[in-house]
Chain A
């Protein structure tokens, strides 16, 4: 913890508060006055945090609240797992929170291999592989395009480049519904409507704003001398990108990959609009299994299917840890 050594330093640190123009309120005003009057001198007294008892009222309150909230957040996951391991008779008799008396993996097998969606009865496996075939090329293509965009915007500005970038960012806020049908027409014209490649194009388009922003900000933060030195050595647009920018930006590429895998895997709207039943991604298929009207509802199979669909983003999330947080916050906060 950085403790300020002198009164000057401390007052400097308080400059943010003392700065006039901040929203006025009584508390802030009083605080300001007292800082001016030198209450800071008191900060020269005993240093370090106040010693606390492990079971102070405050701690019990904080940990108690956090514990209750954590249970609330974990409960759905627990119910999913428990339900997916029970047989249907047990579900009809017991309550959803009780652990399974007899563990069975049958629902998982059924959800994966034989559950029916519409006419097909080959389970979620079809959707899983479709999702894989959608996600992998979409992640690669969208990141390739967006990183080159960001690089051009950061290092090779040309007339109008900022304008296109602004349109891109504003476009990120336009509801997708507005652009759904024009894209149907565009895809139909180039012969990709209904195919997986069409969906890959759509994901690359809609991933572009946030990723371009991400890469542009990152490349702009790299030392410019590096770029200039490479220019002097005669390196061109692509060789600087491939030999200098990409190797120096591995962390941001990882963040982008995490962002895109979860985003594209979890997509539902584009999947349902731009693909046909035999190329539906996993999310669409899950919805069809769970919400199909015909047949007896098999809640255990539904929950197994739900877990299977959520598994990929969950694994990515738990492996990536802090990088995931960085990924989702990166585009958001810097914007």
Chain B
């Protein structure tokens, strides 16, 4: 299995056979990159301009699918939900994650136990999370019923049956599942900060919260950016949680784009709509990722 030895090479072996085993071994990676990631994406974008219904057909209709998409109330609700859910879960998971990490970083006892408790929901699937919170938020038996039985008769908190606040019910479940992970990333970032920065700040008499806000946070920029990107990429993909917790209901009040795509592709047999919707999802991810990738990797060159 020697590919390139000085002695035996009377003539240079052709370039294709240099490093041949490595190339063979990389075939699955090359196929995945080219066929699935690049090919699949281009294919979907291309077919989003056709009127494919049950089967994909190359019958181009221009931007028709997109016009129809943006005229569909269900899609508009999905986008609105995603925006509310996205912005709030970004803010809350970053804030809660950071505060928990900062609290755990105070050289406290039981740190391992507490971290284990905060992180265990992250090991559970979104389906499990959704089903549990569906039960906890059940208006007849769950939190609302318990608070009422304690004497507060008019207490109302039934996100899963109230279409105007249902997305906040989903948000609560998502935060329960995901903040532990954000906390872990933040904790790793905090541990990377030099101990002496803290000492110097203390000597200077800067209160702890200001040290965190104005000295430590700016120094944690790389971790913050990575966390932000990971959360953002996860938000767009949110699907199983909604399916398990609300099935998109009541009515269409908690629909999300990923569910719209799945339902149009595999139930409504309207592939063109599904492709157009998924292309819009791709676009929204690109808006987040491209500037980040440019800042992160473009600068290094």
List the interface of chain A (C-beta within 8 A of B): 1-2, 4, 10, 13-14, 16-17, 22-23, 25-28, 30-31, 34-35, 39-40, 42-43, 49, 62-63, 65-66, 69-70, 72-77, 79-80, 83, 91-92, 95-97, 145, 148-149, 151-153, 156-159, 161, 164-165, 167-168, 170-171, 173-183, 185-186, 204-205, 208, 212, 234, 236-239, 262, 265-269, 272-273, 283-284, 286-287, 290-291, 299, 302-303, 306, 309-310, 313-314, 316-318, 321, 324-325, 328-329, 332-333, 335
B194 to chain A, nearest CB (A): 6
A23 to B9 CA separation, bound complex (whole angstroms) = 57
Let me know if A182 and B40 touch, CB within 8 A: yes
Let me know if A40 and B203 touch, CB within 8 A: yes
List the interface of chain B (C-beta within 8 A of A): 1-3, 15, 18-19, 21-23, 25-26, 28-30, 32-41, 43-45, 47, 56, 100, 103-104, 106-108, 112, 114-128, 131-136, 138, 141-142, 145-146, 149, 176, 180-181, 184-185, 188, 194-197, 199-201, 203-204, 206, 210, 213-215, 218-219, 223, 226-227, 229-230, 233, 236-237, 239-240, 243-244, 247, 257-258, 261-262, 265-266, 271, 274-275, 277-279, 281-282, 285, 289, 293
A303 contact set on B, CB distance < 8 A: 132, 135
A165 to B141 CA separation, bound complex (whole angstroms) = 51
Let me know if B247 and A158 touch, CB within 8 A: no
A283 to chain B, nearest CB (A): 4
B1 contact set on A, CB distance < 8 A: 236-239
A sample of 10 inter-chain contacts (CB < 8 A) reads: A17-B197, A27-B215, A70-B118, A96-B141, A168-B33, A170-B37, A181-B275, A267-B125, A268-B243, A314-B120
Other-chain residue from B43, B203, B214, B233 in contact with A42 (beta carbon distance below 8 A): B203
Other-chain residue from A1, A156, A181 in contact with B19 (beta carbon distance below 8 A): A156
Q: A14-B197, A17-B197, A290-B244 are in contact. Are A283 and B125 (CB under 8 A)?
A: yes
If over half of A's interface residues share one DSSP class (helix, strand or loop), that class is named, otherwise mixed; here it is helix
A17 to B199 CA separation, bound complex (whole angstroms) = 13
B118 contact set on A, CB distance < 8 A: 69-70, 73
Other-chain residue from B29, B117, B132 in contact with A70 (beta carbon distance below 8 A): B117
A47 to B109 CA separation, bound complex (whole angstroms) = 22
- Ranked nearest first, the 3 interchain pairs of A and B with the lowest CB-CB distance are A236-B1, A266-B125, A171-B37
Let me know if A1 and B195 touch, CB within 8 A: yes
A253 to chain B, nearest CB (A): 17
A27 to chain B, nearest CB (A): 4
A157 contact set on B, CB distance < 8 A: 22
B230 to chain A, nearest CB (A): 6
B222 to chain A, nearest CB (A): 9
Let me know if B32 and A168 touch, CB within 8 A: yes
The winner among A43, A178, A291 for most chain B CB atoms within 10 A is A178
Let me know if A76 and B41 touch, CB within 8 A: no
Q: A1-B195, A80-B132, A314-B120 are in contact. Are A237 and B25 (CB under 8 A)?
A: yes
B148 to chain A, nearest CB (A): 10
Other-chain residue from B106, B128, B210 in contact with A306 (beta carbon distance below 8 A): B128
Q: A158-B22, A168-B29, A299-B141 are in contact. Are A31 and B204 (CB under 8 A)?
A: yes
B213 contact set on A, CB distance < 8 A: 27
Let me know if A182 and B39 touch, CB within 8 A: yes
Let me know if B135 and A302 touch, CB within 8 A: yes
Which residue from chain A places its CB closest to the CB of B149 in the assembled complex? A95
**Further pairs besides A173-B229, A303-B132: 17, Cβ < 8 Å:** A16-B219, A22-B218, A28-B218, A152-B22, A168-B29, A178-B278, A179-B44, A182-B44, A186-B35, A236-B1, A268-B125, A268-B243, A273-B262, A284-B127, A287-B131, A302-B131, A325-B184
Let me know if B278 and A66 touch, CB within 8 A: no
Which residue from chain A places its CB closest to the CB of B230 in the assembled complex? A332
A145 to chain B, nearest CB (A): 5
Let me know if A73 and B121 touch, CB within 8 A: yes
A316 to B123 CA separation, bound complex (whole angstroms) = 9
Let me know if B146 and A96 touch, CB within 8 A: yes
A1 to B196 CA separation, bound complex (whole angstroms) = 10
A267 to B138 CA separation, bound complex (whole angstroms) = 25
Let me know if B2 and A328 touch, CB within 8 A: no
Other-chain residue from A70, A72, A179 in contact with B37 (beta carbon distance below 8 A): A179
Let me know if A25 and B106 touch, CB within 8 A: no
A291 to B26 CA separation, bound complex (whole angstroms) = 43
A313 to B18 CA separation, bound complex (whole angstroms) = 43
B210 contact set on A, CB distance < 8 A: 27
A149 contact set on B, CB distance < 8 A: 25-26, 28-29
B274 contact set on A, CB distance < 8 A: 177, 181
Which residue from chain A places its CB closest to the CB of B247 in the assembled complex? A291
A96 to B213 CA separation, bound complex (whole angstroms) = 40
Let me know if B123 and A317 touch, CB within 8 A: yes
B257 to chain A, nearest CB (A): 8
Let me know if A13 and B114 touch, CB within 8 A: no
Q: A149-B29, A212-B29, A325-B119 are in contact. Are A175 and B244 (CB under 8 A)?
A: no
Let me know if A73 and B120 touch, CB within 8 A: yes
